[in-house]
């Protein structure tokens, strides 16, 4: 499935009714395409040529929560960038299920606009899901900018966690400095330790050992657990 010479002549309602299997097929198609944006674009264009773009956006504004959820899932599977403003609006939807579908769709779509939509709504979104979707949506440059961006402790902790979920080795020096910095909120130091434990860079084991005598009990515990995970991963690689 690469979108070339594909004609779609079924109503959008049928796609939404089978969104689970269609999303899976699209995901596999994009995985096969790898980083090739050209192939991804051709798949998306097949849906546009069928006139589904406008209908899909209309479905995101439907009064029916189930239709909004299905439309959000399809937008995410298609990585449909035009839908980002509509998906951003759904982050404020009264239905947690709709909100969750919109977050996942933004994470799958990726790009700067999706990241900004997530960050603009960050303080009212579930922290764990925010971290997951930022880890999917953000580029390396986005992550560096987000770590420097002023924000609430809760939101900054989610950004730090996203670095760990990505296995972001480029962010190890900054995360290490945050874990050691006694001037910042303890919750951010704990988040940095946990993130480093997910990245598992062997060089950070000694930093975690050094935090064993930190005055902050929460930091000591997080650093101890991080050190164990890092050392365990190092021993498994031998």
Among the three residues 108, 133, 151, which one is the final residue of a domain in this structure?
108
Q: What pLDDT score was predicted for residue 33? A: 59
Residue 216: inside a domain, yes or no? yes
Q: What pLDDT score was predicted for residue 181? A: 97
Q: What pLDDT score was predicted for residue 186? A: 97
Number of domains in the chain: 2
Q: Can you list the alpha helix ranges (DSSP code H) found in 34-139?
A: 37-49, 52-60, 65-78, 84-90, 96-109, 112-120, 127-137
Q: What pLDDT score was predicted for residue 1? A: 46
Q: What pLDDT score was predicted for residue 204? A: 96
What is the distance between the alpha carbons of residues 225 and 116, in angstroms, rounded to a whole number? Answer: 32
Residues 15 and 101 reside in one and the same domain:
yes
Q: What is the mean pLDDT of each run of 10 residues along the chain (238 residues)?
A: 51 69 70 59 64 80 93 89 95 96 95 96 95 96 94 96 96 97 97 97 95 97 96 78
Residues 73 and 3 reside in one and the same domain:
yes
Residues 103 and 173 reside in one and the same domain:
no
What is the distance between the alpha carbons of residues 134 and 142, in angstroms, rounded to a whole number? Answer: 9
* Full domain range(s) for residue 104: 1-108
Residue 125: inside a domain, yes or no? no
């Amino acid at each position: 499935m690469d979108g070339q010479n594909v004609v779609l002549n079924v109503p959008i309602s049928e796609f939404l009714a089978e969104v689970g299997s269609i999303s899976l097929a699209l995901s596999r198609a994009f995985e096969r395409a790898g980083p090739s944006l050209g192939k991804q674009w051709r798949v998306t264009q097949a849906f546009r040529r069928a006139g589904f773009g406008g209908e899909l956006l209309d479905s995101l504004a439907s009064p029916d929560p189930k239709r909004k959820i299905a439309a959000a899932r399809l937008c995410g599977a298609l990585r449909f960038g035009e839908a980002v403003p509509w998906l951003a609006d759904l982050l404020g939807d009264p239905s947690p299920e709709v909100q969750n579908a919109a977050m996942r769709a933004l994470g799958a779509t990726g790009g700067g606009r999706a990241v900004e939509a997530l960050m603009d709504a960050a303080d009212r979104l579930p922290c764990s899901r925010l971290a997951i979707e930022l880890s999917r949506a953000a580029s390396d440059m986005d992550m560096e900018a987000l770590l420097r961006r002023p924000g609430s402790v809760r939101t900054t902790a989610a950004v730090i966690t996203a670095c760990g979920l990505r296995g972001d080795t480029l962010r190890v020096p900054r995360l290490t400095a945050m874990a050691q910095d006694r001037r910042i909120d303890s919750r951010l130091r704990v988040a940095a330790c946990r993130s480093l434990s997910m990245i598992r860079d062997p060089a950070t084991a000694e930093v975690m050992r050094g935090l064993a005598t930190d005055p902050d009990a929460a930091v000591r515990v997080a650093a101890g657990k991080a050190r164990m995970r890092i050392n365990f991963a190092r021993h498994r690689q031998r």
